Amino acid sequence: MFDNLTEKLQGVFARLRNKSALTEQDVNDALREVRLVLLEADVNLKVVKDFIATLRERAVGEKILEGLNPAQQVVKLVNEELIVLLGGEQAPLTYSVKPPTVYMLCGLQGAGKTTHAGKLAAHLRSQGRKPFLIAADIYRPAAIKQLQVVGEQVKTPVFVAPDGTDPAVIAQLGVAEASRSGCDIVIIDTAGRLHIDEALMSELKRIKAAVNPQEILLVVDAMTGQEAVNVSLGFHEALNVDGFILTKLDGDTRGGAALSIKTVVGKPIKFVGTGEKMDALSLFYPDRMASRILGMGDVLSLIEKAESLVDQKQAEELERKLRTSQFDFEDYLEQMKQMRKMGPLDQILGMIPGFGGAKPAGLDVNEKQLAHVEAMIYSMTRAERRDPSLINGSRRRRIAVGSGRSVQEVNKLLTQFDQMRKLMRSLAGGAGGGIPGMPGPGPRGKHAGSNKGNKRKPTAAFKLPFGRR
C-alpha cells in the first residue's frame, strides 16, 4: 500500500543527503515536499497541517541524536512524528474479567467483516483462546453460509439462530450458547450498512445494549481512502467504537486512511489485514509501520513471522546439510514452501531495511516465476533432485518438456541453484549463520513476540545548525 509514499519520501530525504549542511530554508523546502506527498497519499488535510507544524517546531529547537548528519536528523524527526500519528504504541485487545469476552464487528458492506471475523478467531486460537462466532447478519444473501465456511476453515463453532430471529436476540442467544460450550471469546458478525442508515445503526445500538460487548471493532476498507475516515467518524459517533481492523492493506492504494484515522477519530488501529488467507491478520505496531513507510524495514515482524512458521528441527537439519554440502533440490523445494507461508515476496522484501518501496533493479518477485521453478524441480526424478550433477543435456530437455518451460530456463535454474548453494554454504560456515530461520550463535529471535527491540535509549544530543530567529 505504502510503496508510492515510501518512494516519494525517500526522494525527499535523498535530496537532503546531498547537502553537507542544512539551512532553515532547506528544511522548509523539505517539509513542503513532505506535505505534498502526504496530501497525495490522501491523508486528512488537518492531520497534514498539524503534522508539518509539529515537525517545523521540533526541527528548529529539538535536540537530536549525536552522530547523525543534518539529513538523518530530519528523517529521525519524521519517523518519530509518524509513530505518534499512527497511534504511538500497539493497542492490545482487552478481555472481560468474567468470560466470555464479546467482540462486536461492524462496518460497511464489502469491508470484509465476515472474513475478518474468521481471521480474528484464528488469531485468538493461536493465542490459546477458544473463540465462538455468531452469525448476526440476516440481510446479506449467503452471509450466514459464508461465516459457517469461514468457521470450518479456522476450526471455530458458529452459532446460527432460526430464520426471522432479531439480530439483538441472536447475539444474546449466541453469547449464552458460547458460555455453555466453554468458549471464552465471542465474535459477533453484524450486517454491513451505511453509517447514514439510521434504521440499521439503531439495530447495532440494540445489539450493543443486549450483549454489552467488551470491544466494538470497526472493520475499515483501507482502499476507500479518505472516505474510510468519514465512515469511521460516523460509526464512532453512533457506537463509540474501541478500535479498528484495517483491511486490504496489501492493496495498491494511497494509504491515507491508516495515517489519518487515529488522529481524526481518536481510537487506535488494532489489526491490519494483509492478504486473503485466514492467517493474514497482523497486530498493528505504529513504530514498525512508520519504519516501513520510511523504507527502514520491519525486522521484528519478519523475525516473528519466520519463527512462527519455521520448524526448529527442520532448520537445524538444513544447517547440517549446508555445512556438509548436502543441500539439494528437495531441500530447496521445502525452503520455497516455507517462504510462501510467510506471504507474498514483495511484502517480505518490504520488511527488510534498505529495500523500502522500490524493488531493486533486476530482482523479480513475480509469484508465477516461483511456480515455474517448482514445475521444473517436480519434473526431475528423485535421484536428480538429490544429485543435480546427474542432469546432462538429454535430462535437461526432458525436464523442460515435462514442466512446459524452455531448456534455457532449466539451464538458468541449475546455474542459479549451484551459485546459491555455494553462497549458502559459505554463510552457514561463517560467523553468525546468516540464513533466515536457521539457529545462529545466540538465542534465536530474542525479540520475537515482544516490542523490546523498538524502545529508544537516551542518548547525548545536539541542535540542528540553525535556531529560532
Of 262 and 349, more confident: 262
What is the rounded average pLDDT of the residues 423-434?
A: 53
Q: For 236-253, what is each residue's pLDDT tens digit?
A: 988 999 999 988 776 545
In a shared domain, residues 65 and 119: no
- The 3-state DSSP class for residue 159 equals strand
Percent of the chain with pLDDT strictly greater than 70? 69
Q: What does the pLDDT read at residue 347?
A: 58
Q: Is the pLDDT of residue 434 over 70?
A: no
Q: What values do phi and psi take at 352, rounded to 5?
A: -95, 125
CA atoms within 13 A on the CB side of 46: 7
Mean pLDDT over residues 261-275, rounded? 87
Q: What is the DSSP string of 11-43?
A: HHHHHHHT-SS--HHHHHHHHHHHHHHHHHTT-
- Rounded to 5 degrees, what are φ and ψ at 61? -145, -10
Inside any domain, residue 14: yes
Q: Half-sphere exposure (CA, 13 Å, Cβ side) for 169?
A: 7
Residue range 428-444: mean pLDDT, rounded: 40
pLDDT at 86: 85
Is the model's pLDDT at 64 over the cut of 70? no
Whether 432 shows a pLDDT value over 70: the answer reads no
Same domain, 40 and 146: no
Q: 66: pLDDT confidence band, cut at 50, 70 and 90? A: very low
Higher pLDDT, 308 or 106: 106
Co-location of 318 and 229 in the same domain: no
Which of 54, 85, 116 is at the close of a domain? 85
Residues 380 and 349 in one domain: yes
Q: Which domain holds residue 57?
A: 3-85
**Which residues partner with 105 through β-bridges?**
189, 217
Q: Where are the beta strands (DSSP E) in 86-157?
A: 101-107, 131-135
- Residue with the bigger pLDDT between 129 and 7: it is 129
> Does the pLDDT value for residue 103 go beyond 90?
yes
Q: What average pLDDT is seen over the chain?
A: 76
CATH code for position 308 = 1.10.260.30
Q: Rounded to an integer, what distance in angstroms lies between the CA atom of residue 344 and that of residue 3?
A: 14
pLDDT band at 79 (very low <50, low <70, confident <90, very high): confident
- pTM comes to 0.64
Once rounded to an integer, what is the mean pLDDT over residues 190-197?
A: 77
Contact residues for 364 (Cβ-Cβ < 8 A; gap 6+): none
Q: Tell me whether residue 455 is in a domain.
A: no
Give me the percent of the chain exceeding a pLDDT of 90: 28
Pick 54 or 444 by higher pLDDT: 54
pLDDT value of residue 2 = 60
**Reading across the β-sheet that carries 101-107, which strands appear in turn?**
158-159, 131-135, 185-189, 101-107, 215-221, 243-247, 269-273, 281-283
Whether 16 has a pLDDT exceeding 90, the answer reads no
Whether residue 124 has pLDDT greater than 70? yes
Of 59, 85, 111, which residue is a domain's last? 85
CA-to-CA dists, residue 205 to 67, 110, 135, 200, 216, angstroms: 55, 21, 17, 9, 11
Domain harbouring 7, CATH code: 1.20.120.140
pLDDT of residue 242: 94
In a domain, 292, yes or no: no
Handedness of CA 272, 276, 280, 281 (dihedral sign): positive
Is it the case that residue 320 has pLDDT exceeding 90? no
Of residues 360 and 78, more confidence is placed in 78
Which pLDDT band, with edges at 50, 70 and 90, does 459 fall under? very low
Question: Residue 451: exposed, middle, or buried by beta-carbon count in 10 A (0-12, 13-18, 19+)?
Answer: middle
Alpha-carbon span 300 to 246, nearest angstrom: 20
Choice among 36-45, 55-64, 155-164, 294-303 with the minimum mean pLDDT: 294-303
User: Is the same domain home to 222 and 318?
Assistant: no
**Residue 356, φ and ψ in degrees, nearest 5:** 55, -145
How far, in Å, CA of 258 to CA of 293, rounded? Answer: 11
pLDDT at 150: 94
Tell me if residue 178 falls in helix, strand or coil: helix
Read off the pLDDT of residues 152-183 as tens digits, 9 standing for 90 and up. Answer: 999 999 999 988 899 999 999 999 999 999 99
pLDDT at 130: 94
Q: Assess if residue 407 is contained within a domain.
A: yes
Convert the pLDDT of each residue in 345-393 to its tens digit: 555 555 555 444 444 444 445 567 778 888 999 999 989 988 888 999 9
172 and 148 within one domain: yes
pLDDT in tens, 32-45: 888 888 887 778 88
- Is the same domain home to 121 and 243? yes
Mean per-residue pLDDT, 80-108: 90
Write the burial class of residue 446 (CB in 10 Å: 0-12 exposed, 13-18 middle, 19+ buried): exposed
Q: Is the pLDDT of residue 46 over 90?
A: no
> What is the three-class DSSP state of 199?
helix
Tell which wins on pLDDT, 314 or 187.
Answer: 187
Asked if omega into 92 is within 30° of 0 (cis), the reply is: no
Nearest in space to 326 (alpha carbons), one of 428, 240, 402: 428
CB distance 295 to 357 below 8 Å: yes
Rounded CA gap, 215 and 232, in Å? 15
pLDDT of residue 376: 92
CA 192 – CA 221 distance, rounded (Å): 12
Of the given ranges (316-320, 429-433, 438-442), which has the lowest mean pLDDT? 438-442
Q: By C-alpha distance, which of 364, 351, 362, 253 is closest to 295?
A: 351
Q: Are 429 and 323 in contact (CB under 8 A)?
A: yes
Is 443 part of any domain?
A: no
Average of per-residue pLDDT across 256-268? 83
Same domain, 119 and 181: yes
Closest CA to 341 of 319, 314, 379, 359: 314
β strands within 22-96, DSSP E? 64-65
Q: Are residues 240 and 190 in the same domain?
A: yes
Which is more confidently placed, 378 or 316?
378
CATH number for the domain spanning 268: value is: 3.40.50.300
Q: Total domain count for the chain?
A: 3
135 has a pLDDT exceeding 90: yes
What pLDDT does residue 102 have? 95
Please report whether residue 333 resides in a domain: yes
